[in-house]
Structure 1
Amino acid sequence: MIRIIPKPTDTPGDNSTQMVLSALDEMGADYDILTLRGLNPFQIPCQGDLIWVCGIRQDGIEFEQLKALSLKNRLVNTPDAIVTCASKVLTSALLIHHDVPTPETIFTGSKTDIEVFLGRHGKAVYKPVYGFDGDGIFLFSDVSDLADPPYYIQEYVQNDRDFRVFVIGYDAVGAIYRQSPHLTHNIHKGGTGTPVEIDPAMREIAEAAARAIGIDYCGVDLLKRDDGGYTVLEVNGTPNWHCMDAPIPRLIAEYLVREENK
């Protein structure tokens, strides 16, 4: 049985869960809705099912419930993959470990370390370790701009856009570029998305990033470098697919059916 955990932030005008449910309906696939509210992690309500996690609340409770569900079920995405993507430190560590290009990054509690970093780069980007939707990210060139540690700091890669590549089953299936007048080009922050063809270099790095994380489906955010290559900013474990030409809900539905039948 395919079970669906709805995205808690869905709205009538932006309902990711319903898009995939409609695709499953068109395919004639059987599924059921599973809500995490009130779920007892010590009494797992199902066993041997495939559970699609469209999204969870960032409150710690629902993640623990997912971990309990994963003891007896196959989760897409897995709790480990979701928590990896939520941590910029762990994401960066895995990308570097697997030789996936990513901006030079340090994670430290020392402003002296950051001064050395700024000496090499001139300016850098501060990011909250567990931030999302571009919140709390800013460009700086003086350590006095920083508050209390810890500090997750990346080199600044000059750009006027970023790219999001949607990857399912380690296969890049759709992409957009995002632009805004801000440092981050997140659509929730007023950025605009435009569909773009996936070029070979983009495909290679996005699929390599997904494999490094070990994730069923994700949104890989890229910047283009001066040499024409790309570098990975982050990997999103519960990504939106705004503005993409590719039929992402149908592709997710097909993937769920394939995985449930294995």
Structure 2
Amino acid sequence: MIRIVPKPTDTPDDNSTGAVIRELERAGASYSLLDLDRIDPLASDLSGDVIWVCGMKQDIHQFECLDILSIENDVVNPPDAIATCASKVKTTALLLRAGIPSPETLFTASLDLAADFFARHGRVVSKPVYGYDGIDVRLVDSLADLGAPPYYLQEYVPNDRDFRVFVIEGKGVGAICRQSPHLTHNIHQGGTGTPVEVDPLMQEIAGGAAGAVGAHYCGVDLLPQNGSYTAIEVNGTPNWHCMSAPIPRLMAEYLLEKERESRR
């Protein structure tokens, strides 16, 4: 059985969960919705199922539910990967360890180290450790603009666009170029998306980033830099706005294959 944790931010006009469900129904697949807030995972009889997390709240209860359910079920993405992607610090650490190009980054509670980082880079990008949709991502020029520690700071890579690459099992299956007049080009921050082909460098870096964080599927955000790309974020419950690739069908096919594997 395929169990689906719906994305909590779905709306009637932007329903990622529903788009994949329609493809599962076309394929004659059995599925059910799973509300993590209405179960006790310690007493759950779920076993041997595929649990797809289209989206979830960033809270302790839902993470713990998934972690316990993953003992006897195949959770997609794995709870560790979802937690990793929720943390920009852990994501950056794994990208750097895997040799994935990424902007120079500082995570510290030390104002002195932050000052050294400013001295090297001038303007830097400040991001929340746990964040989504480009919220509270700021370009800052001085220590006075930082606020309270800890600080997650990245070198500013000048750009007028970024790229979201949708990856399934290490393969980039779709991509968009996102543009806006703002620092972040996220669609939720007013950016516009144009479908583009996944070129070999996108595939290499996005596929490597997905592997580094242990994600079976994800959205990898890339900035163009020096004729290549640098990875700035990996999203473990990604949207696929504006992509021309049939992502809902590809996700449904992937879930069905995972279910077949679970029965072998």
TM-score (ref. length: structure 2): 0.97
Deviation digits for residues 227-259 of structure 1, max 9, x if unmatched? Answer: 211000000011000000000000000001111
**SS of the residue 2:118 aligns to:** helix
| 1:252 aligned partner, one-letter code | M
Equivalence for 1:241? 240
User: Which aligned pairs between 1:16-35 and structure 2 lie closer than 5 A?
Assistant: 16-35=16-35
Q: What is the SS of the residue equivalent to 1:133?
A: coil
Equivalent residue letter for 2:91: T
1:70-114 Cα shifts (integer Å, max 9, x gaps)? 111110011110000000000000000000000000101111111
Match of 2:201 in 1: 201
Match of 1:91 in 2: 91
Which residue of structure 1 lines up, in the alignment, with residue 164 of structure 2? 164
Alpha-carbon RMSD: 0.9
- 1:137-152 matches, within 5 Å, as 137-152=137-152
Q: Matches of 1:178 and 1:60 in 2, distance apart?
A: 32
Q: Which runs of 4+ in 1 moved over 2 A?
A: none
2:185 aligned residue? 185
What amino acid does structure 2 have at the position aligned with 1:259? K
User: Residue 53 of structure 2 aligns with which residue?
Assistant: 53
- 1:63 corresponds in structure 2 to 63
Residue in structure 1 matched with residue 221 of structure 2 by the alignment? 221
Secondary structure of the equivalent of 1:13?
coil
Instruction: Name 2:103's counterpart in structure 1.
Output: 103
Paired residue type of 2:33? I
**Contact 1:108–1:152 (8 Å) recurs in 2:** yes
Question: How far apart, CA to CA, are the structure 2 residues paired with 1:183 and 1:45?
Answer: 47
CA distance in 1: counterparts of 2:67 and 2:211, whole angstroms:
21
2-structure distance, mates of 1:3, 1:145? 45
The one-letter code matched in structure 1 to 2:258 is E
Q: How many Å separate the matches in 2 of 1:244 and 1:182?
A: 21
Contact 1:195 1:244 in 2 (8 A): yes
Shift of 1:41: 2.1
Task: Measure, in 1, the Cα distance between the counterparts of 2:73 and 2:214.
Answer: 17
Amino acid of the residue matched to residue 155 of structure 1? E
Offset, 1:119: 1.4
Paired residue secondary structure (2:237): coil
Aligned mates of 1:7, 1:43 — CA distance in 2: 24
Give me the whole-angstrom Cα distance separating, in 2, the residues matched to 1:38 and 1:257: 25
CA distance in 1, matches of 2:33, 2:92: 34
Letter in 2 for 1:240: N
The letter of the residue matching 1:236 is N
* Distance across 2 between alignment mates of 1:61 and 1:183: 33
Equivalent AA in structure 1 for residue 197 of structure 2: E
Q: Specify the SS of the correspondent of 2:38.
A: coil
1:250 aligns to what? 249
Q: Which amino acid is the alignment partner of residue 202 of structure 1?
A: M
- Percent identity, aligned pairs only, is 61
1:37 match: secondary structure: helix
1:115 alignment partner in structure 2: 115
| CA–CA distance in structure 2, aligned partners of residues 201 and 33 of structure 1 | 37
Matched residue SS, 2:42: coil
**Unaligned stretches of 5+ residues in structure 2:** none
Distance 1:256 1:156 in 2: 38
Find the aligned partners of 1:215 and 1:58 in 2 and give their Cα distance: 17
- Retained in 2: the 8 A contact 1:44–1:68? no
Report the alpha carbon displacement of residue 68 of structure 1 after superposing the two structures with TM: 1.5
What's the offset of the Cα at 1:59? 2.6
Q: Which amino acid aligns with 2:120?
A: R
Q: Aligned AA for 1:81?
A: A
